[in-house]
Amino acid sequence: MENVLKVPTMAELFAAGKQPEVLFWVGCAGSFDDRAKKITKAFVKILNKAGVSFAVLGTEESCTGDPAKRAGNEFLFQMQAVTNIEVLNSYGIKKVVTACPHCFNTIKNEYPGLGGTYEVIHHTQFLRDLVSEGRITLEGGKYKGKRVTYHDPCYLGRANSIYEAPRELIKKLDAELVEMKSCRKKGLCCGAGGAQMFKEAENGDKEVNIERTEQALETKPEIIAAACPFCNTMITDGVKNKEKEASVGVMDIAELIASAQDL
């Protein structure tokens, strides 16, 4: 059941003299990557269902500059940052939610020094708040009793100490949360961070995403939950490499919630 997504842009709302409750920062992966677009849509469906007033920047959004910065190109990063900050400030944005931990980290931590200070929330935190405010309910859905393991994205976990929001949501779905041997502060990277997503890995004896996928599969999960479009891609590839895609799903927390509600 494909509902029509309601996705207002800031430009439209601005023209109508309206200000949304929150800006949804979609990010490059969320806008262009086929797998990540599904996450974006799942999140929007939940926002629509819960009646959240939000908007996106649409064509006015541009890369936060995270991959450039982690690759060492501070110039390009700051050019991107300053451009984005100008747009955000011109709309008087106060609150930003994003489904990408890299965008989250950059806007939250690195934009303030360049003139862009906002309340920045990761979508797992936002969803948790929607649940606790009773704007969406999760219990007793189709994930009841399913074995779900959760992969901590580095830029959400270690980088910003957000470990519990995604886990609370998984538990709220009545799923059985099983932890990998390295989780939370000791969570192993998926291999995509620091601009690795965009290049071949250096010589070694294994790919990082395979190592991490093996750790995840050790927990015998039905679903590996992620909260980052890049982690999702890396682990999806890992599961395919292990030929387990028929029995183990890799899903974003937003997708779990949306599909639990048949959105």
Nearer to other proteins, 171 or 194 (CB): 194
**Closest separation in Å from C-beta 82 to other proteins:** 5
By C-beta, is 173 or 235 nearer to other proteins? 235
CA distances 36 to 72, 92, 100, 229, Å, are 25, 28, 10, 5
Q: Name beta bridge partners: 33.
A: none
Q: How many CB atoms lie within 10 A of CB 11?
A: 15
* DSSP alpha helix (H) spans, the chain: 10-15, 27-32, 34-50, 66-70, 74-90, 101-105, 123-132, 164-172, 208-218, 229-241, 253-260
Query: Could you give the 3-state DSSP secondary structure of residue 149?
Result: strand
The nearest distance, CB 208 to other proteins, in angstroms, is: 5
d(CA 156, CA 184): 10
CB of 119 to other proteins, least distance (A): 15
Instruction: CB nearer to other proteins: give 107 or 175.
Output: 107
- What is the closest distance, in whole angstroms, from the C-beta atom of residue 189 to other proteins in the complex? 4
Judged by CB, which is closer to other proteins: 82, or 222?
82
- The residue among 37 and 147 lying less far from other proteins, judged by its C-beta, is 37
- Least Cα distance to 19 among 84, 81, 124, 95 occurs for 95
Residue 131 CB, nearest distance to other proteins (Å)?
25
